[in-house]
Structure 1
Amino acid sequence: MNGKTGDRLHVHGNVVGQPDRTGEIIEVRGPDGGPPFLVRFDDGHEGLVYPGPDAVIEPRAKASR
C-alpha cells in the first residue's frame, strides 16, 4: 500500500459499532511511498499509522481547470 502526502486514508471499523476513521496523510515515512504514514484524522488527532487490510488510500483529488 503506497500513499502520497495529501491522500486520504480511510480505515474501516472492524468491530460492530466501531465507526470508520478518515484522515489526511501529512507525511510518508516509509520507502517508495510505503508505510508508516503520519495521518491527521478528521477529529484533529495525529498519529503514525501502519495500515492493515481494513484500510484504503483515496488519492488526492486533482484540481480541475
Structure 2
Amino acid sequence: MRASVGGRVQVHGKGAGNPDQVGEIIEVRGADGEPPYLLRFPDGRESLVFPGPDSVILPPAP
C-alpha cells in the first residue's frame, strides 16, 4: 500500500451501526509512501494509522 500527503484513507466500518471513516493523509512516515500514515479526520482528531485489509487509499478530495 502506497500513498502520499493529501490522499485519503477510507477505513470500512466493522458492522451495522459503524460507518466508514475517511481521513486525510497529513504525513507519511514510512519509506516510499508506505505506512504508517498520520491522518486527520473531519472532526479534527489526528491518528497514526497502519491500514489493514479493511482500508483503501483514495485520491485527494476535489
TM-score normalised according to structure 2 size: 0.90
What secondary structure is seen at the aligned counterpart in 1 of 2:13? coil
The equivalent of 2:28 in structure 1 is 28
1:59 positional shift: 1.5
The equivalent of 1:6 in structure 2 is 6
Which is higher, the Rg of structure 1 or of structure 2? 1
Paired residues, number: 62
The equivalent of 1:60 in structure 2 is 60
1:58 positional shift: 0.6
Give the 4+ runs in structure 1 shifted more than 6 A. none
The equivalent of 1:19 in structure 2 is 19
What secondary structure is seen at the aligned counterpart in 1 of 2:32? helix
Gaps of 5+ in 1: none
